[in-house]
Amino acid sequence: MDVFIQHQIDQAQRTWAEESGLIAFLSRVPAEVERFEESFRMGLRYVPVPPEDIDGNEETAQNTAFVVVRKNRLLPERDYCLYTVLDNRRLRVAYGIYRDGHILTVKELAPLEEFSKAEAKLYNWLRELLRISCEKP
């Protein structure tokens, strides 16, 4: 009986971020990016610290969930990135140009609100990052 009561208490104390799958998804992102990079060797790297600013806004940067940068050896003058920002229980998803800890947004995508299948979305975003980073501006 004690185990059942403890389980009910634990369930009641779970936060929205845990219940929605957000924390589980975000905790898998670094490993999934590494696995993607090991498979395709396309110059992707997970950036473990938030950017200094996004489009000049430091407050937005403080809510960054993750950043993945692609260094394209054929276009070394620009590093493109995929980044997400937590905004009202959803992740805003966008591509940008990453330079010295600053991001300039190039393209925004539909926000992610359902985190249970977010891993499949991550692979699509990474493939699109590869495509975008190969286009000349």
In this model, does residue 5 exceed pLDDT 80? no
State the CB neighbour count (10 A cutoff) for residue 92: 21
- Angle between helix 22-40 and helix 118-132 axes, rounded to 10 deg: 40
pLDDT digits (tens, 9 = 90+) for 14-56: 688 888 999 999 999 999 999 999 999 999 999 999 999 999 9
DSSP string, 96-115: EEEETTEEEEEEE-PPB---
Q: Where are the domains of the chain?
A: 2-132
Q: What pLDDT is attached to residue 7?
A: 45
pTM above 0.95, yes or no: no
pLDDT digits (tens, 9 = 90+) for 56-110: 999 999 999 999 999 988 888 889 999 999 999 999 999 999 999 999 999 999 9
Let me know: does 134 contact 74? Beta carbons within 8 Å.
yes
